[in-house]
Structure 1
Amino acid sequence: MHITVWGNRKPLEREMWENTQDGTPGSWFRVTIPCGIQYDKTWLMNSIQSHCSVPFTPVDFHFVKNGARFFVQEATTASALMDVSYKICDKESRKVCIPVFVSRSDVPYSVRYKLKPEEMEQLKLTLIKRFNVSKQALDLQRLCVDPDLVGHDIDIILNRRNSMAATLQIIKKNFPELLSLNLSSNKLYQLDGLSDIIQMAPTVKILNLSKNKLKSVWELSKMKGLKLEELWLQGNPLCGTFPDWSTYVRAIRECFPKLLRLDGQELPSPVTVDVDTPYVVKPCKGSYFGSDELKSLVLQFLQQYYLIHDCGDRQGLVGAYHEEACFSLTIPFHPEDPAPSSLCKYFKDSRNMKKLKDPHLRVQLLKHKKRVIVHTLCVLPKTQHDFSSFVVDMWFQTETMLCFSVSGVFKEVEGSSQGCVRAFTRTFIATPASYSSLCIVNDELFVRDASPSETQSVFSIPVPTPTSSSMHTLSQEQQDIMQASSTRPEVNL
């Protein structure tokens, strides 16, 4: 963490050591971290503390715009904070260069207007009256006009950090298992003080902030880390800043990923990944077809397609595609190795959307029209597919369209990569064609290097080669195509 100090350091240090009596100018110092909101509050403060030569207690920590701010009182502490420069690393042990500004300050507001003991006692009694023991719920709706507080001339305005801090202190001490907190109708326009709820009331699952003055979701980000399951925001100006419900939900869930209800409406279960728990991918359950009729149709189609594909001349595949069909090829994207040599023959045609930033190239690599597609297939390495490795999944079907994918392995049979085993996944969108066959409308091919286990098990069953004896498996249309192609001298039937 890089710490930058306003002005020349030596004159500032001399000023810091002057007037250290509590409440006098110069005894308090403001520490501002411009990018502090990007980091977890606990991690940030622990990181600063671990590299600071003297222990300190941050006072009035809060977020400002995109940054974070807190106060310290002793000049020795302020001076020590200036020495933390470049000493803080992130979780991957990389340097985090964040400017941190240290400057003199007046007494913080929360200290200047700290509640007196008798006021804290009355606030505690008021909160206890509003607490529902059976539901572990605390109702602080319209707290500022509570007769028990107004009658004792106590101003509890929750926009003020001293009021919110005092409230959270009482909650932590008296309601340690609080589940529901209602802060509606308190004219809240910022949540600086409420950021401490993560430490003071971490058990809260239901939070009601409705009918307040919150204008931006950024205010909610100050409470990131609170594991909310239900949130109420209706009646705040921020609700009108979203074009639709889905955008609204997505923005709120960026702050609270485990949210199940928003403004009283059930939300779809969040998709979360527990990175701390090892996850084993379940083994494939085998092919899924939906019906025996579809199984027969698709398997016949795949056998015909790959017999022609592997025969040496792929021009015969022209009849398998619709005139306006599309095809795309993708190989894995590795940032450190954008053109892996093992797949270099596939790289120039790869349309990996993580790699491609040029919109014109994205269009260019989407092969359109069947003869362009087949020409692209013809320049790819010659292959031999292992039919015994195929796993087929039927995932959508209508009377006029069939969507299915096939995964398996193949090996290259010529050139410098001869014998190399590849794994592939191919997704077809097809329409019915003559002779009870299929016509491909869209074809997406993904190729990668096969894993060791895939390489060891490859070609456990001999793969048939396209000969005259296999012609009976082809449709009449494909037989005609192959016969016509074989009249060319360079083509072997």
Structure 2
Amino acid sequence: MEGYYDRDAPRERQSGALRTGVRVHRKHGAAPYARVLHMDREGDAQMGEGSASGAATQRVASFNPRGGQQAHRSRSLSVALPAEKNVFSRLGPKNLRMARESFSVRNRGRGRPLYGSRPPVTAWFKVRLVGAATVDRSWVMNAIGDRLSAENVTFQPIQVAVDGNSLTFFVKDQAAADKLKMLNKVIQFSHGPKMPIGVNPSQAPVVHLDESVKDAIRTAMGKRYDAATRSLTLSLFNEAPEFKIASLSIQLSRTSHMKAVLELIETNIKDLHSLDLSKNRLTQLMDFFRLADKVQLHQLNLSDNAIRNIRDVELLRSFTHLVDLDLSRNPIRDAYRDTPAYIEDVRKKLPNLLRLDGVDLPKKIGFDAPTRVQLPVPTQFHAPNEQAKQQLTTFIQQYYTYFDGRRSELLGAYSDDAQFSLFVPKFQDKSSGFFPHSRNLNFVVDSATRNVKLLLGRTSIVEFFSKLPATAHVPESFTVDVFFNENALVGFMVTGVFREEQNKHQRIRSFSRNFVVVISDEGLRILSDTLTVSQASPEQVNQFSQNTPSEKPSSSVATPATTVLDEQTKLAMIVSFASQSGMNEHYSRLALEDWNWDYPKAGAAFLQLKSENKLPPEAFVK
């Protein structure tokens, strides 16, 4: 079959094949020869009309019709094309095309960088001088330094160490790394052989922070601190002369190095006003968070770093005195389409900020308030009327007395079809015993788990209470707000704090609890109960942490022993007790009076006497 590469093919088809510039092989040595085509042209080449451009000069290097060893040698074809029209315009401008005037396919790939087709991923290089540990170290370093200085290249070895018969160190200069690579087997030892030198890209060297290293950091920081302005400049901290003299690589982007610097600030510069951490390749600010309650920082320069996430900026919220922040030339800025969106997001995280990236921020838009308006004084208990307030006061007092002591006796407080759920916010302390039982729908996405954590029926609810940690509520912290009151349904919220027993320690927790209860002739029954547990605020901790667990805090809510109930409430309790126990109203009244109208205690006593068969038969005669 006649083809482009047949020897007897028409010359114009051969010329078309030559123009492709492709090396051709046939599998399994079937090809009688292989070619590598060279295209040499002067100026702009073109296939002219009626010209002799089809003529090709062939320089055959070797030819073996039977294949064999020589069949894989190349034969070079050079095509000379007259420059009449520019058919190579797709190659780019003329100056670039002239740089490609003559090229060979088989040479493609030559002239690559010393370290492969990709540039090194870091700016550091580890150098190994094989055999240098067996000779005088100063002679080796001087020999390398002299050759690099002759090339106007700075030679600064970092962390010189002995590894077997070799010396190893790090350099951060690309030019120095390239020159060291070229010195491989150039410098000759006095005993004869030439010194092999290996250069490889590396991560930044790890520095163990012993006392000598900490002293060097302390000295460098001391020279960069200005006591007059109370400012500390740690820009390009790794290039401090103290570290170069000691051949140390101190990188604030490393957690251990940053912690060492922050400890020195915490103990020695508590009055720090301004801090410059620019050009240190910082990627996050988690370690920096520890300074929040130690120094009153007003100005912070984080420019020319690698901070990418806006959440790192939110960590600076605890620096309440911070008014000037510089985040310029950080990747975090690239996430925003325009400057106003960037400024708005940063100001949401840091509302006290007055200056960002070296520019004064515009004043926030607000509403003029020419006169101060006195807000209403909040009330501790909001109820629609005194009767409802009295009923709810008694209920809340008795409920939390049993919740903190004998939760199993709360069975009578819930209706048969009651429901309960527990909510714990995302940032709640995970060591809390309430956290594993949370039904936070933002994070509990599985339908089956959601259904399991929604408790239905009073038996399931009271059994679940036994799994929760022991608590001691503080009645002085309670506030009650009735948010719904329609016919026999009442919805109200109780907020306050309690102490959670945790590994023989007590933690102050904040809570809010929404109850929906039904009021009937049988009394108060809970239909819905939703409990939210969160971390207490610092103000709550300071206010309520003084009471010891053994103390019984006094409350404005009357205790069951001193509760004064009106006759209507007592009658409702008697009717409810008679309905549940099966006794007549006379014995129901006696049971409640014996326990000072404490409904749960009277119910528990009734169940015990009934199990012991100590109740008289006339108690059940109606």
Is the TM value for this pair above 0.5? no
The TM tier, using the shorter chain, reads 0.3 to 0.5
**Could you say which structure has the larger radius of gyration?**
2
TM-score, length-normalised on structure 2?
Answer: 0.32
The structure showing larger relative contact order (alpha-carbon pairs under 8 Å, at least 6 residues apart) is 1
